[in-house]
Amino acid sequence: MTQSASLTPLAIQNYLTNNLISEDQKVRVSVKRTSLGWLTIRIITSSFEDKTLVEREEKIDNLLSSLSPGLNLGQYPIAGYELLTPEEANFTPVRYIQLPLWSDILMAPEPDDPIEMDEDSPKKPLVITFYSFKGGVGRSTALGLVAGILATRNRRVVMVDFDLEAPGISIMFQPDIEKTSGEHYGVLDYLHQRYLTPEEDIPNIGNCIRQINLQSRGELFLVPVGEYDENYIHRLADLDMRSFYRRGINPVEQLMEDIKAQLDPDVILVDARPGFTDIGAIALFDLADTAFICFSPTEQSLEGLSWVVQTARKQRDYQGKPDLRFLVTPIPPVATEQQKIWRDKVENWIEDNWDVPIGTTVEELYYEVLYNPNISTLSSLVNDIPKSLLDAYLPLADTIDASLPDIKQNIVTKTNDGRRNILNELIFESATAQELEPDNIPHIFQRTEDFPKFLNNRTWLIRGAKGTGKSLLFRLFVEKSDAAKELAQYDINLNNVNFIPGHGQPRVSGTILDSGDLASYEQQVGENEWQFFWLNYSLLQVCNSKSELRTLSDLDRKLVALSAQENPSHAEIVSWLVERSKSPQTRPQASDELRAIDRWLQQHNQVLWLLYDELDAGFGSSQKDYERRRRALEALLAWWLESGTSLKHIIPKIFLREDIWNQLNFTNTGHYSGRSLQLRWEEADLWRLVLRQALKSSESLSKSLEQKLGVTVERLNLIGLEQLRQSLYPLWGERMGRTKKAYTYNWVRNRIADSQENCFPRSLILLLQEAVKLEKEFPTEYSSEITLRPKALIDALPYVSQQRVAEVRNEYPELDQLLQRLQGERSPIDENRLAEIWKVENGQLALRIKDMVEAGILTERSRPKDPPPRVYGVVELYLYGLGMVRKGQR
């Protein structure tokens, strides 16, 4: 056979296998192509036993030459080979990368089994390399400022200057170095002398480390490049990084081990040489657990970085590191629109060039630092730094800090028995507001920061996304009014207030109508008579709930008789409503009756709240039903603005889904701006909800948190955010692990939020409910200090996403088919692809996208001035439940 284009790695692999299998049925042959087109061969067979390497090479060369004349192990295209017996293979792991340098990594083939990083295990010390392809992007400055921030957090931090040709941090920290006597050396001195005399402790690592003077608490150390003199230049010229990795003792590895032994640091920050240099490669690919790639958002920078990232990805697959994060700096002071262009370019580039880990979004992989001319005027990178300047670097410090072992200890117990007790006791209840039994409502209800504003009589309209607690709030006041009054007593006395359902679930009151009744009413009276419906409907609900009002002489006898029935037929109610709406005489009479009730309430020093719920679901789910709902709700809201202000003791509380409110259009809509409350769950609200359920279910956790932190269920509403976060430590720790690089509370909060930044308490409780279940099934124990390991939360998220998607399908039945067709798609997704899978065009496409955005599922990733097609992303809360994957996800 002659060598040709058909001579692929697979063809060679099959040929060798077929010719060796007669001697060894279990022969294993692997032929891989490197990034530069070379081949590597690995053969494992028992036929090599008792044969020298020369004999093995001769055997394979003969086979190769018969496949293609001139083809042999010693020349192009074969870059390397391993010829092993099965026993030898057990002690010789596959390793095609001999040196952690640019060309060696790029030439290596893709590994058969990429190494996965242990996500749950924080590492100490963690080695973080700051690298840039080009200089002048603020890499050393970022490292220095981040080091100072970490030191103030009680982290022991070491900075190592590996930019031997053009030192950065060694110069920047000169004014802050603690003055000591004795000899002072650095990285170059250490590496050069250790290469010459590896057995001698010269120079001692202690003479290479300099402590930084800090005005605040903390410990910060620097290993500089060394003293600048003529000999420095000669030693640098002698340095051969490749030779370090071809001998028994590697000076680079010995330097890092000596630093760890001398200082026991939490984190080592390495300042790497820019470009494709050997010393930069070692700092990035051999030393770093994580690397921050610093660059400016220009085409020139991104083009060079593509090779950097490609090399890093391959090294990560071989060694399990480095993981990458990206720092865009310095961003010039340009218009917001231009910043958005750069941001989109960066996100697209990261998705195309670096894998986005599962459970991570592209936004969590990069950070931005705007250009600040004040940096050049700083006399120190660690002392007297303006807060406004440090704020830009806090997210980087948070990311590193979140990858380190927790500082807090002994909040609960040091025994696995104590942890297991808490785990077995924990019960999280995630029932929907509709599913809850009335007696359970006060136990589940969590008072939020919005609660005092809701209690204000001026607050008529309570808006919020579905799942933000509107129905639970409604049921608390209507069905468990005594508990509601008790919860409100810290803000207002509601003892003289009556809570009456103006509309809601039929089970709340026998006089509440359903969707068929509402359709029947409109069919009989027409589309424009809804204001009279709400007026008479309110009279019926009030008189039905408050029997003493039926004695008023001003009331219509039919109204009194109907309201006195315990369970009147809906046909009778609709008939009465139709009759009242059609009769010219009863229209003004209804307003008189409501004012008479208002006067009676005033005389008896009482107030009446009319609460309206189920306004999204109570009309049906067809397009005609939605149109009817819009007309009815516009009439309800307009009627209260027109007539309700004259009523002093009757107060409406109208619960309405946010997207429905946005679709309404009636006279004086803006007048609700001072009477409206948008329900949102802030972070403190969410953690109080979690702690309420955790403390009530786990006696062990409750006793421990009260003893150690003074936290009890009764005090939850008085506890601030930081103490709430600390109280959650025994439940889920502080950090999500090395690959997620996030504080647990931030990770959780971001993943129970939709694209409109609404957080869903039920999704939060579902996450914990499922995580508890998964944690009990793990075969290995975890830290005795933490009940739920990060993996339990991560693995629970897809289930939560599935449940949330099911809820959305129930809330928005008109979107069900659109959601199903997103299965298997990638996020972000452009409008052309949406039109294709949804089978809609032009105006219909725009409407469907608008619906999905308002429902919190899609968020636009493109800018208004971008050319078509528009691009949309899907948040984590919905991604897994929709069966989608994120672009660039590994």
For the chain, 890 residues long, the average pLDDT of each consecutive 10-residue run is 62 93 92 76 93 92 90 83 87 64 79 67 87 90 94 93 91 86 86 88 92 86 88 84 75 94 95 93 94 88 87 88 91 77 86 82 89 81 85 91 70 66 93 84 89 94 90 94 93 95 91 94 94 95 94 92 92 95 85 94 96 91 92 95 90 94 90 91 95 95 92 91 93 80 90 92 96 93 86 94 94 92 93 94 89 92 76 93 82
pTM: 0.74
Q: Give the DSSP letter of residue 322.
A: -
**Tokens matching residue 487:** 């919860």
Euclidean distance between CA atoms 44 and 89, whole angstroms: 7
- Using CA atoms, how far residue 358 sits from 321, 872, 880, 890, in Å, is 16, 19, 10, 6
The answer to whether 574 and 629 have CB atoms below 8 angstroms apart is no
Euclidean distance between CA atoms 447 and 493, whole angstroms: 16
Identify the pLDDT of residue 266.
94
Identify the pLDDT of residue 2.
44
Q: Can you give the length of the chain in residues?
A: 890
**Tokens matching residue 597:** 């009730």
Q: How many other CB atoms sit within 10 Å of the CB of residue 862?
A: 18
Q: What are phi and psi of 22, to 5 degrees?
A: -70, -30
Q: How many other CB atoms sit within 10 Å of the CB of residue 809?
A: 15
Euclidean distance between CA atoms 770 and 487, whole angstroms: 30
Euclidean distance between CA atoms 475 and 472, whole angstroms: 5
Q: Taking the mean position of all CA atoms in its chain, how far away is CA 821?
A: 25
For residue 860, give the amino acid letter: E
- Using CA atoms, how far residue 570 sits from 479, 511, 515, 566, 574, in Å, is 22, 7, 11, 12, 6
In DSSP terms, 327 is beta-bridged to 294, 367
Show contacts of 859-865: CB within 8 Å, 24+ apart.
859/755, 861/344, 861/347, 861/828, 862/344, 863/337, 863/340, 863/341, 863/344, 865/337
The answer to whether 332 and 368 have CB atoms below 8 angstroms apart is no
3-state SS track over 207-259? HCCEEECCCCCCEEEEECCCCCCHHHHHHHHHCCHHHHCCCCCCHHHHHHHHH
| List of E strands, 540-649 | 607-612
